[in-house]
Every structure is written in C-alpha cells, then in structure tokens.
Chains A and B, each alone.
Chain A
Amino acid sequence: MEAVHDHSHDHHVPTGIMRYVTTTNHKDIGSMYLWFSFAMFLVGGVMALVIRAELFQPGLQVVEPEFFNQMTTLHGLIMVFGAIMPAFVGFANWQIPMMIGAPDMAFPRMNNWSFWLLPPAGILLMGSLLAPGGAGGVGWTMYAPLTIQQGMGMDMMIFAIHILGMSSIMGSINIITTILNMRAPGMTMMKMPLFVWTWLITAYLLVASMPVLAGAVTMTLTDRHFGTHFFNAAGGGDPVLYQHIFWFFGHPEVYIIAIPAFGVISEVIPTFSRKPLFGYPSMVYATASIAILSFLVWAHHMYTVGMPVEAQLYYMFATMLIAIPTGVKVFNWVATMWKGSMSFETPMLFAQGFLFLFTIGGFTGLVLAVTPIDIQLHDTYYVVAHFHYVMVAGALFAAFAGVYYWLPKWIGKMYDERLGKIHFWLSLIFFNITFFVQHFLGLAGMPRRIPDYALQFADWNMVSSIGAFGFGLSQVFFLYILLKAIRSGEKAPEQPWDGATTLEWTHLPTPAPYHSFETPPDLRN
C-alpha cells in the first residue's frame, strides 16, 4: 500500500496560519489539539485559582457568590472537555498512525474538522461569561431544574456542549476506523501497542456516551424555552431523570478521561523498566471490562436522591466491581517494574506519580462506592479530593508523562532533564498540599460548590489554597520547559529511550517526518 496525495505537489500546501487552518496532516492536527488543550488548562486553572482565592479565608472577599458558581462550573467543564479530553485526542492523533504503521488518520479532512470545532465551542463556553447574567452557575453536571433559572449564558453552554459532542463523535469515529482499518500488515489486534488499544476502547465509550449527553442538554433546552416537562414533576417528569441521563454519560466520561491515561502509562513504564509490559492480554481485557462496567454503575453519583434501596444496592455492588479490572492494571504495572532495570527520567517520574496517586484516588473512589459512607461524603470536599486525585494526578500526570516521553519524537529536540525533574517534584508536592487536605475537609462535612464556609474548615482551606497557587506556578514552569525545548533544546538522539519498542521508535527517524509510513512497514514476522 502506498499513500497517494492528491497531486503530490507539496508546494501547493498553504503556509503560515492557513497551513494549520486547512491541514489534513495528523501531526499538525495533533499539535493543535495539544496546544489548545494546554491553553484551556491554563484558563481552567486560573478559574480554579479564583475559586481557591475566594476559599483562602472564610467570608466573601474576592468574588460574588454567583460568579463563584460560574467559575466552578466553567472550571469543571473547561478542564474536562477543553483540557484533558483534547490533550489525549492530541496524543491519539500524533501517535496512533505512527504506532500502527498507517500513513495518516482514516479521514484527514474530518480530523481537521474535529479539531476546528473546538474553538467555536470554546468561544461559546467562555463567551457565556459575557452574556447578560453571566454563564450558568449550575456546576459542570448542570442539574435541572437549576438550569431552568439561568440566563442566556446557559444556552450558550448547551450549544457549546452540542458542538463539543460533534467534535468528539467525529474524532472517535476517525480513531476507531483508523485502528480497525489502517494497521500495517502483520499488526494484529493483539500486537497493537496498549496505547492504541486504550484509545480504541475510549473512542467506543465516546461514541456511545456523547449522544446521550446531547440528549440530556437538549431536554434541558426544551424545558427552558419550549415548555416541555421532562424535568418538572408538575408535568409528570422528574428532576432526577436529568441526573440519570447525565450520569449515564458522566460515568463513562470519567473513564474516557482515565483510559487513554492508562494507555500512556502502559507505554512509559515498560520503556523505562526495559522490560515488556506484564500481562498484555489481561491489560486489554481489563480495559474492556472497565469500559463495559462503566455503563452499568452511573447512579453511584446519586445515592442521596432517594432511589429505591434495591437500586442503591445494585449500584454499590456494580461500582465496587470496577476495582477488580482497575486493580489488575495496577498490579500489571507493578509487575512490569518488578525485576526490571529502571531509570527515572521525567516521563517515568510522572508515571510513578500517576501510579501512586491514581491508586489512592481509586481507593477513595471505593470508599465513596460504599453507599452508607457516601451518604456522609456526598457533595463534600471528599468527592472533590477523590476526583482530583484521579483526574489531576491521574490523567494530567499521565499527559505530562506522555509529553516528556514523545517530545523528542515530535520535535527532534530534548527537554531539559533537570528542569523536567523539578517540574515533577514541584507538581507532586503541591498537588498533595492542595488536594490531600481536602479529604479532611470532606470528612468534616464541608459542602462543595460553596463560596464561603464555617470557621471549622478554615485551616485546611488555607493550606489547600496555598498548594493550589504553588501547583499553578509549577505548570507555568512547565510551559517554560516546553518553550525552552522547542527553541533551544539539544538535538534528540535517534533513540533517546533505550527501552522503547513501539513502531514510532523502531521504524521512524527522530524527529518523525511530516509524512510517515507512506509505505506501511511489513510486520508479518
């Protein structure tokens, strides 16, 4: 097979900004995803800092309560849909074609559209702050009927979500098709790198769950403007119905965030342990089980809505089950390290940070899964602590690991190893200062989404806020490391990591050429 280009006159390719606007190259698109996501991470991070600044001390000092709620809402939405998800789609774009020996993604033009749908969505999302009455102050979960009371900003957010959904669905279809149809000869499914597997499964989750979210926000829209009664008891509807639909999407969503992170970690750990991944087939099966289970446990976010006790029991058992496949993954990673020959460059450090802290976050998830305990902890900072462990120390750390790991392949230059290590240690320490103490706040009963709190919560909040600013600054430092590497990094050796075994390292030069694998490698023996 040989890739053909329309006329193969490369001088027809637009330059400057238009190159990126019109590009059909998976690497360009991957880079745009990654930069977009990092920008969104900073924006969402600044919103987190507004939250933490207000919570530094009891009393209202910095912002008005409704603006605080808008910050919480946008912080959640932007971090989830704007920062973490696009980051991993960026990885997918860069890596999947290279890792399976394909010339590009299956639908390069649609790939471009998936990315270029993000800016309009971002404009609607953030522009909602400027709408009369501001953005929706409803939490990222957008529970009815609070959403009914909001102003025009809420509608902008709803349409932003529709557009984000389109982007995700198209992106996922592209990824699935690429993986199923564009592998090099001999790259059987069970030989695919685990990162590719995790994305196949994630894309399936996305295609199955994003349309459901679209349905939920559409019902919200018609309840707001067209007089339907989906979430209004007066008409026979139920506000809790919204929650069921939302979490049917929302729970798979949290694994959409986690599973590609598992994929990155499953590449990094074997490389730096210089040892093949332990239990490859069980990793694949475990990931698939997590994906299937994730559609069966959604109501563990709704233990206090007063559903029948039988339903609570079912959701408790089902939720606890997820610990098993996740445990298998954790054990496999540890077994991969066991008797390896490990070295601790920055990607490996972040992978270890991930392993340690994600597992802790998983444990607190298990605490929350136990219904009687969750009734005490629901909607407290314990939940906030739990999900920042799995999403910041989990997904975000994995994304850092991935960037440091693949950066040499992408730009052909090395980052500064010493600075990278500093970035890791600062992140690790400040992360824990910020979020570990939130467990205590939650246990003591501090509700989430409040701009002001009782005096008994003052001390830990102050600690957490200090940690947050430290963590934020460490991420600005990361930006510096990146820019330094791009501008004046040392030239990367062909093989910066001696343990790497996937195609992009073994079959392509460093940096990877603009068009890789125009002729697929033959891997049949």
Chain B
Amino acid sequence: MSSQSGGYYLPEPSRWPIVGSIGLFFLAFGAVLTMNSVSGGWYVVLVGAIVMTYMLFGWFGTVIGESESGKYNKQVDVSFRWSMSWFIFSEVMFFAAFFGALYYMRVLSVPWLSDAETGSLLWDGFVAGWPTDGPGVDSKFTPMGAWGLPAINTALLLTSGVTITVAHWALKEGKRALLNWFMFLTIALGVLFLGLQVLEYVHGYRDLGLTLESGAYGATFYMLTGFHGFHVTLGTIMLIVIWLRGVRGHFKPEAHFGFEGVAWYWHFVDVVWLGLFIFVYWL
C-alpha cells in the first residue's frame, strides 16, 4: 500500500477553506433573509456566491496545479478514488430521502387519507390515487407524461453516458482529438438535457397547471427532478472544466483521476435519472 516513489503529498497551510466558510455563511444567511422577504437579502446571497466562486476557482486551481506538477503519487490517487466513491454514496442517500418520501406518500399516506375514519370524518369524498394533489388542495393539474420530453431526455442522458465512455477510452489510448470532441459532445448533450428540462417546467407551470404547490405529486415531481437538474448542472460545469483541461493537454493515459471522478459523477447523475424516469414519470 505504501508508494515507493516519493511521499504522500501534504499541502501547505491554505486560506481556501476559510474563504469557503465565509462564502457559505453569506450564502446561507442571505438565503434566510431572502426567504423571509428582508430587503437586501439578495445582495448577501450575491456576496456569498462571489466569494464561493472565488474559492472554487482558487482551490481547484491549486489542486490542478499540484496535480499537473506531478505532486500526487499513486497513493494520493487511491485517496481520491475512495473519497469520490464515498461522496457519491452520500449523494445517493440524499436522493434516497426524496425517493423515500415519494414512496411513502404514494403507497402509504395518500391511501390512508381516503381510508377508514380519516377518509369519512376528515376528507369526505376524497378518492386516493396517483398522481394526486391531495384532498385539500385544488390545483386541477395534469400529470407530466413520460413519453414526450422525459423520454427524449432519457435518451440524451444515456447517450451522454456512452460519449463520455468513448472519451475516456480515447484518453487512455492517447487519442487527444477524439477525447476533446467526445467531451464536447457530452457537454452538449448535458446542456441540451437542461434546456429541455427547463422547457418541461415551463410546460408544467403554464399548460398543465402543475406547480410545486400541487400537493404530493407536484412536490415530489419538482423536488426530485429539480435536485436532479441541479446535479446535472454541477456535472456539466465539471465536464466543462475537464474538457478545457483536456484541450490544454492535461491528463495522462495512465493518470487522470480528475477525469474519472467527473465521469463517475456523470454516471451517477445518469442512474438517478433512470430512477426518476421509472418512478416519477412512468409508473
């Protein structure tokens, strides 16, 4: 397990973490103010966002610099692999909470609401079913069909999973041009996906009467797809960074964890989408 050539890289003291903490504090506090309609809240959010962006550029810049100057040995590489796997595991658990909520409402609480005394004494006339906005919300929405935009989006994401794999293969074979093109393709698919997702939301809000406030269905629909969309956005930004690094000639056929980490993340986002497609849109 120990590496023979060189030692484990230990960084010098760094100011990025504290910058990040300050940025995050402003972001969070600004969000609180904004949500409570305190004037000026947006500015606090903005300050937080700027500080965070600065931190992310600085921190990742440092890491990329260290990586390219060959400071990371095999063992560091293994550390990155472990940490990325566990990070993705934590993301899985985050989505699990929302999938769990969907399951609970659909299978348990909505049926209970039309069952026994709960139905007869409190919600007379409510008939359980799915999709629903519940017995007390009257939003008259139409559910989102699975075979329009969502199906196209599924195809897009699955294809992007293939293109990034091709890019990875190209990187390992040292075919840099192919790598760059397929990265570009992957990004384009991601952006397209996001665009369609926005269209879908517009469609939902404008034509279907389906909003965040449409009871159990609206809440789970928008929260699950929304958080997924947010992750796709993050993933796309990461892809762009990796693409630009590829264009600049970063990564070696035998050492390119930065690339692989992003690819893992992208596959994770892909798998979550499959879950969404099945449980939110289709079934």
Which residues of A pack against B, CB within 8 Å? Answer: 1-7, 12-14, 18-19, 21-24, 102-104, 106-110, 112-113, 116-117, 119-120, 123-124, 151-152, 155-156, 159-160, 162-163, 166, 169, 172-174, 176-177, 180-185, 207-212, 214-216, 219, 221-222, 224-230, 232-238, 240-241, 244-245, 248, 518, 520
Contacts and interface: CB of A to CB of B under 8 A. Distances in A.
B136 A234 contact: yes
B219 A229 contact: yes
Given A113-B20, A210-B90, A244-B100, 14 more contacts: A24-B12, A117-B24, A169-B87, A184-B2, A212-B93, A214-B94, A215-B94, A219-B97, A227-B212, A228-B222, A229-B137, A235-B134, A235-B136, A236-B132
A106 B79 CA distance: 7
Nearest to B82: A177
Nearest to A104: B10
Given A104-B10, A116-B21, A241-B101, A228 B212 contact: yes
B17 interface: yes
Contacts of B110: 236
A272 B104 CA distance: 51
A18 B22 CA distance: 15
A7 B213 CA distance: 56
Interface string B252-265: 00000000000000
10 contacts: A23-B13, A182-B75, A215-B97, A227-B212, A227-B213, A228-B219, A233-B136, A236-B137, A238-B112, A245-B101
B16 A109 contact: yes
B89 interface: yes
Nearest to B226: A222
Contacts of A5: 10, 12
Contacts of B18: 21-22, 112, 116
Interface string B1-44: 11110111111111111101110110011011001101000000
B32 A155 contact: yes
A120 B21 contact: yes
Please classify the interface of chain B as helix (H, G, I), strand (E, B), loop, or mixed, using the class held by over half of its residues: helix
A333 B35 CA distance: 52
Given A1-B8, A3-B8, A162-B28, A234 B137 contact: yes
B141 to A, nearest CB: 12
B250 interface: no
A185 B2 CA distance: 7
A107 B79 contact: yes
B29 A124 contact: yes
A20 B88 CA distance: 30
A234 B15 contact: no
Question: Which of B12, B101, B112, B213 has the most C-beta atoms of chain A within 10 angstroms of its own C-beta?
Answer: B12
B24 A177 contact: no
Q: Which 3 A-B pairs have the closest CB atoms?
A: A234-B136, A215-B97, A236-B134
Nearest to A225: B35
A181 B10 contact: no
A236 B133 contact: yes
Given A207-B90, A236-B215, A2 B104 contact: no
Question: Which of A2, A159, A176, A208 has the most C-beta atoms of chain B within 10 angstroms of its own C-beta?
Answer: A159
B93 A120 contact: no
A208 B89 contact: yes
B219 A237 contact: yes
A126 to B, nearest CB: 13
Contact of A181 (B24, B31, B78, B213): B78
Nearest to A151: B36
Given A4-B71, A176-B82, A235 B219 contact: yes
Contact of A4 (B6, B90, B223): B6
A132 B9 CA distance: 48
Given A1-B2, A207-B89, A222 B219 contact: yes
Contact of A212 (B20, B36, B97, B123): B97
B57 interface: no
Nearest to A116: B21
A180 B1 CA distance: 10
Contact of B216 (A6, A18, A23, A237): A237
A89 B158 CA distance: 40
A441 B13 CA distance: 53
Interface string B212-252: 11111111001100000000000000000000000000000
B105 interface: yes
B269 interface: no
Contacts of A19: 13
Interface string B39-67: 00000000000000000000100000000
Contacts of B133: 229, 235-236
A155 B37 CA distance: 12
Nearest to B98: A215
Contact of B105 (A6, A109, A237): A237
Interface string B199-223: 0000000000001111111110011
Contact of B1 (A113, A174, A181, A222): A181
Nearest to A210: B90
B94 A7 contact: no
B96 interface: yes
Contacts of A248: 97, 100
B83 interface: yes
